[in-house]
């Protein structure tokens, strides 16, 4: 079990640290109690949050409406809920 994600029934709750204006969208490495996520969008007028939600929806195989920003609307540290993810990335399967 990791400090940066937990299952809440069928939902996955993620604690992430966002790096905006990255060269590409990607799940990066865990940083203590958060997962670093790089996104290409700038942190302006909610664009980064909207882009992040779209990226996570695609990554987990769900609709954008199934990714909820629970906290961290204006900061880099965020908590998000993914409702019933259909795909789980390799980074959540430690070997």
Q: Residue 84 falls within a domain, yes or no?
A: no
pTM for the whole thing?
A: 0.93
Each residue's pLDDT tens digit, 52-71: 999 999 999 999 999 999 99
Q: What is the CATH number of the domain that holds 28?
A: 3.30.1200.10
- Is residue 92 a part of any domain in this protein? no
- pLDDT tens track for 68-77: 999 999 999 9
Q: Quote the number of domains for the chain.
A: 1
Q: What range does the domain containing 70 cover?
A: 5-77
Contacts of 8-14 with CB under 8 Å at 24 or more apart are: 8/81, 10/83, 10/84, 11/81, 11/82, 11/83, 11/84, 12/60, 12/81, 12/82, 12/85, 12/88, 12/92, 13/70, 13/79, 13/80, 13/81, 13/82, 14/56, 14/79, 14/80, 14/81, 14/82
């Amino acid at each position: 079990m990791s400090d940066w994600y937990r299952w809440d029934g069928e939902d996955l709750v993620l604690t992430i640290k966002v790096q905006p204006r990255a060269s590409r969208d990607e799940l990066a490495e865990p940083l203590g109690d958060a997962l670093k996520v790089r996104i290409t969008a700038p942190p302006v007028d909610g664009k980064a949050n909207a882009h992040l939600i779209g990226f996570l929806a695609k990554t987990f195989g769900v609709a954008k409406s199934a990714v909820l920003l629970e906290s961290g609307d204006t900061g880099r540290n965020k908590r998000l809920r993914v409702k019933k993810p259909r795909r789980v990335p390799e980074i959540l399967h430690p070997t």
